[in-house]
Structure 1
Amino acid sequence: MIATSSRKAVAGVAALAALALAGCTPPHQNDSAEKIDTATSQDPTSLKGAGATTSAKATNVTEARQAQEQATSSPAAAGAPVFNNCGATGLVRPDRLTVDCQNQDDYLENIVWDQWNEDIAEGTATRVVVSPDNREEDVKVVLGNPENIDGQLVFTTVSVNGQPVVPDNNY
């Protein structure tokens, strides 16, 4: 007798839940066969990873980081320079850059680019220095001095919090 009551109670709760879910439609919703595309202002290149490709054959940490940098880059806008970092070329709006290519122990991550145009790229990032273990939030990153290199416009200078850095210097 208790088992039957218990089953009836469970069935009753399930029926109430089904009714409650069936009534969950937005207020003032008018169903229509005609749909209107309202997302007309989205720039497809602003989506993270748009047009990116990854390398599944990265054999060491440097190659894996380079593949990650390339995978998180957006396609270059017409006339906008790219950036080359520690062997990775053609980067546009990467979310990670290495500050010390030789040791790979100083890098910028979670970069948010405020602008990326034909003259300058500016953003903020978290700077991570592995030894000693240090994380600095909201550092200012600036790429500048675009030059034509092998037929492509490339940013050639980097500064972090106003201090010039040369990632490839220690190679």
Structure 2
Amino acid sequence: MMTSLSRKLLITGVTAAAALAITACTPPNENDSDVKVDTATGVAAPTTETTARTTGAEGTTTAVAVADLPGYIDCVAAPTREPQVISLNCADNSDQLTAIEWVSWDEDGATGSGTRIITTTVGEQEVIEDVDVELSAVTETSQGLVFSQVEVDGQVVAL
């Protein structure tokens, strides 16, 4: 009976020592805090073109880098600037703006016009041309600044 008890104690001791050793080890590929590696390379940085803008009364010109301008995330895509298509119903794509022509796109908002196509559950389409589109409410995301609110003909669309 003593040998059985000794074996159990030995197995328990070895198991406890192994558990302690495993928890004390550093996981593979973990870097020390002063040697961090930039891993956020999956999103390409936008190009850095500049546009000139003349402000009101002073007539001064301010250069704004295109990379600093907000983009728009259509459902779950990467942010883009001046998209030609915007989905207004990401669940089934039954409501979308197409052929969008942007009149302005700056750090405060974007305005343009396009065609709205609403598809019913039976597949019929209602086409409404020349609708006004406005993007606003700039929000900081992990992918940079983006517009988070869409208005179509003055009505805010819940996305």
Which interval holds the TM-score relative to the shorter structure? 0.5 to 0.7
Match of 1:92 among 78, 81, 88: 81
Q: Which residue of 2 aligns with 1:119?
A: 108
Which TM-score applies when normalising by structure 1? 0.51
2:158 partner letter: V
* Mean Cα deviation higher: 131-140 or 106-115: 131-140
Q: Deviations over 1:68-95 (max 9, x none)?
A: xxxxxxxx81321011111112111010
**What are the within-5 Å matches in structure 2 for residues 48-127 of structure 1?**
77-127=66-116
How far is 1:151 from its partner? 5.8
SS at match of 1:91: coil
Which structure 1 residue ranges, 5 or more long, are not aligned?
A: 1-44, 46-75
How far is 1:152 from its partner? 0.8
Does structure 1 retain, via aligned residues, the 8 Å contact 2:79–2:143? Answer: no
Matched, 1:146 2:138: yes
Matched, 1:163 2:151: no
SS at match of 1:139: strand
Q: Deviations over 1:28-81 (max 9, x none)?
A: xxxxxxxxxxxxxxxxx8xxxxxxxxxxxxxxxxxxxxxxxxxxxxxx813210
2:104 partner letter: Q
Q: How many residues align?
A: 93
Larger radius of gyration: 2
After TM superposition, the runs of 4+ consecutive aligned structure 1 residues lying more than 4 A away are: none
CA distance in 1, matches of 2:135, 2:79: 14
1:144 partner letter: S
CA distance in 1, matches of 2:155, 2:143: 29
Which structure features the higher share of helix residues?
Answer: 1
In percent, how many aligned pairs have the same letter?
33
CA distance in 1, matches of 2:69, 2:78: 14
Which structure features the higher share of strand residues?
Answer: 2
Which TM-score applies when normalising by structure 2? 0.55
CA distance in 1, matches of 2:89, 2:73: 13
